[in-house]
Amino acid sequence: MKSSRWVRQWRSSSSQHGWVAIGLHWVSALLIIGLLALGIWMVTLSYYSQWYHPAPHLHKSFGMLFAAILLFRFIWRLINHQPEVQGKAWERQAAHYGHRVIYLLLMAIVVSGYLLVTAEGAVVSVFDWLDIPASPIQFERQADIAGWWHRWLSYLLIACIALHIAAALKHQLIDRDGTLSRMLGRIQ
């Protein structure tokens, strides 16, 4: 029986993700899934629900926390090695563009959410201990336009996440190339 070794380095290499990249990936995944679920649920609440005000406050707070993590993750990705992508040439290209699309969607969702929340000039309160100022740029029907984009980009993100998960499972279960294991911190 082959014993698996676990990643010990904090930075990524050309063959393995480091602990920082792994941690950022899984914390982001939890936040994204939680924000999507909370967003879908909170728009169904009636005015008389006990969660009518707390749910959007949590969504905004975790959204701003995610924005900070996304910014750090983007910088980390730029200054750090990326492990070589496994698979055929078309799979590597699909992974390359797929990751870029997911990052662009995440950034657009964060910006549209911020524009939606600050449409009336209100600050974004993050867990009641930090206020993010409103956007100095305001435009006509900002809440409607930003809200529309926020919603539909989120639905598109759900489809991209489903493809991302399907690809990871295909690599793990069919190709058996260790792609998912590397993101779990195991060295093959």
Domains of the chain as residue ranges with CATH: 5-187 (1.20.950.20)
End-to-end Cα spacing for the chain: 13
pLDDT at 1: 42
Task: Tell me if 37 sits within 8 A of 106, measured CB to CB.
Answer: no
Spell out the per-residue pLDDT of the chain, length 188, in tens.
444 566 678 888 777 888 999 999 999 999 999 999 999 999 999 999 999 999 999 999 999 999 999 999 999 999 988 888 878 899 889 999 999 999 999 999 999 999 999 999 999 999 999 999 998 889 999 999 999 999 999 999 999 999 999 999 998 899 888 778 788 877 65
pLDDT at 175: 87
In Å, what is the CA distance from 53 to each residue of 43, 46, 47, 50, 146? Answer: 11, 10, 9, 7, 20
Extract the tokens encoding 120: 């009336």
| Helices (H), ranges, 43-88 | 54-79
Beta partners for 125? 131
pLDDT at 4: 55
Task: Tell me if 122 sits within 8 A of 134, measured CB to CB.
Answer: yes
Quote the DSSP letter at residue 84.
P
pLDDT at 186: 73
Q: For the stretch 6-19, what's the b/e string if a residue is b when 16 or more beta carbons lie within 10 angstroms of its beta carbon?
A: ebeeeebeeebbbe
Beta partners for 5? 187
pLDDT at 3: 47
Query: Rg of the chain's alpha carbons, rounded to an integer?
Result: 19
- pTM, whole model, 2 decimals? 0.90
pLDDT at 181: 79
Extract the tokens encoding 8: 């010990």
The helix (H) or strand (E) run that includes residue 36 is helix 19-42
Which among 65, 70, 43, 69 has a CA at the least distance from the CA of 56?
43
| Separation of alpha carbons 125 and 180, rounded Å | 37
